[in-house]
Structure formats: C-alpha cells, structure tokens
Amino acid sequence: MFELLVSLVLCAGTLLILQGGLTAQGGTTITGMDPQAMGMGLLAILAAGYFWGPLFGVALILSVMLHEFGHVAAYRIAGHSDARFRLIPLMGGVAISDQHPASQEKAFFIALMGPGICLAPMITAYALSGLTWDTAPAVSEFLWTFAVVTAALNFFNLLPFWPLDGGRCLQVISQSFWPGSTAPLMAAMAAAMIVAAIWLQSLLLFFFALMGAQSLIASQNVLQVQRRMSPLRGLLATGAYVFTTLAHLVGGASMFLPFL
C-alpha cells in the first residue's frame, strides 16, 4: 500500500510538472506509421516476444511510446508546438522538433523528461502488481513485466554516454560548471560507447555510437548559442538526474542482476 501511495504522489507531481504539455491542439503527431514501418515494428515485437515472451514485447513498445511522449510533452512546455515523435522499426522512437531549445535549461528538461515521465507509471505498475497477484495473476505478471522493462529501458537511456539522454543531461550539467570541459568530456563518452560496443560485440550499438559521434559536433555548436544554465540550477539538475537514474536502476535491478 505504501508503494501505491508513493506512486500516486509521483503521478500528481508528474501531472503538475508537465501541465500544459500533456495535451495540445490537434493532438499528438506520430510519424513513421506507414505500412512498411508498421510491418517492421510488428517483426520487432514478435522477435522480442520470441526471445523474452509476448508480455515483454508489448511492455517494451508501451514503454518506448511513454518515454518519447515525455520528451514531446517537455518540448511543448518549452514552446515547441511542432513537437512529435517518430516510431523507428526495430529501434523504438525519437522525439522531434524543427527548432533547438532556446536555453540549456530547457534542453536538460527535455532530455530528462523522457525517463522522468516513466517514474510514476513504473512504480504504479509495481504497486498494482503486488495488489493483484492473488486475484488476477495474469494482470499482475504483465504489470510487473511492464515495470521492469520500463525501469531497465530508462536506466539504459540515462547512462552518461552520448547520444543517450544521460549523455545529453551530462553535457548541459558540465557546461554549467566547467564550460571548457564539455567538448572533451562528450568526446570521451562517445569513445566509451564505441569501446563498449566492441567489447559486447554489438554491431547495432557500434553503429548507434558512430551516429551519435557525428551528431556530437552539431550539438556542441548549438550549445554555444543557447543561454547557459547557472551553477545553482546545475546543482538542482544534477540532483534530478541522479534521483531519476537511481530510481530506474532499483526498478530494473531484477533485469540487470543476471548479467552481473
């Protein structure tokens, strides 16, 4: 019951933070929904279901869409009425806007709110899973799967590697404290992801790291023209980043432990 109360508080907090960004005139635009993309997406779900079970496949798609909607809602609050997200077959989704955030503070907020919006649903799913185990075990199993997948997905996104959300958050935080260190720090993070891809022998992760390294140069140029975040706001941003990361780490621990 305590977990449910915590989840309700987080839900209320999320609604308050994202007030004005959860709805928009004309609704939410989702691109990439052509027949070919839908077919590839279905294959992705089937592949996930084959290796980890059908509940995992459905939970993964729901988690990705919730994550990307968090970015879209944050974009809207930052004044980007054109925000939408694109579903990418076999990879997930990506939030899109035709303009860059005007300040580093807004850029951080947009990057963090993908994982941030998932905190309340993740904890709520855990709480309801425990409450429904005796009366509806099938529902309980799906809720538990959704919670674990959501936490694991968002913890991965919050790792401090470019171009993950964690790398984008770290870029802004480092700029607020040590402006001269941002470029070499981000280059080191991009290199670390390439090394990790080679170590894990993951071709997909390797190409993802290469694409991220290319976008890093453009992001540094954008960073120079954005309004800088103050050190005090940088401390608050660091606290929010650490809290969100630790919460998803704890939530997805059961998925990580077998690999340790």
Q: What is the pLDDT along the chain (260 residues), one digit of tens a residue?
A: 666 677 677 777 777 777 666 665 444 444 444 454 455 456 656 666 666 667 787 888 888 888 888 888 888 887 777 666 555 544 444 556 667 777 888 889 988 998 999 998 999 998 888 888 778 888 888 999 999 999 998 998 898 877 788 888 988 888 888 777 666 777 777 777 778 778 877 776 777 677 666 666 666 666 666 777 888 888 999 999 999 999 999 988 887 666 55
Q: Which of 19, 13, 158 is nearest to 76 (CA)?
A: 19
CB 17 within 8 A of CB 10: no
Tell me if 71 is assigned to some domain. Answer: yes
Contact, 142 vs 57, CB < 8 A?
no
Answer for the pair 125, 8: CB distance below 8 angstroms, yes or no. no
Q: Is residue 258 part of a domain?
A: no
Q: Which two tokens stand for residue 93?
A: 């989704």
In a domain, 259, yes or no: no
Two tokens, residue 145? 């799967």
- What residue numbers bound the domain in which 182 lies? 2-251
In this structure, the dihedral spanned by the alpha carbons of residues 240, 246, 250 and 252, taken in order and rounded to 10 degrees, is 90
Query: Is residue 256 a part of any domain in this protein?
Result: no
Rounded distance between C-alpha atoms, residue 193 and residue 135, angstroms: 44
Cis peptide before 163 (omega within 30 of 0): yes
> Any idea what the Cα angle at residue 198 is, between residues 197 and 201, rounded to 5°?
85
57 within some domain: yes
Q: How many domains does the chain have?
A: 1
CA–CA distance, 32 with 210 (Å, rounded to integer) = 23
191 vs 206: CA distance, rounded Å: 10
The owner of tokens 């905190």 is: 119
Residue 260, domain member (yes or no): no
The H or E element containing residue 39 is helix 35-52
DSSP helix/strand/coil, 233: helix
pTM, to two decimals = 0.77
Q: What is the pLDDT of residue 155?
A: 93
Whether the CB-CB separation of 240 and 112 falls below 8 Å is answered with: yes
Structural domain contains residue 17:
yes
* 8 A C-beta contact, residue 87 and residue 41: yes
| Helix 35-52 and helix 54-77, axial crossing angle in degrees, nearest 10 | 130
| Percent helix, strand and coil across the chain, each to the nearest 5 | 75, 5, 20
Cα distance between residue 117 and residue 106, in whole Å: 16
Q: Judge whether 257 lies within some domain.
A: no
With a CB cutoff of 8 Å and minimum separation 6, the contacts of 172 are: 104, 105, 107, 108, 111, 223, 229, 234, 237
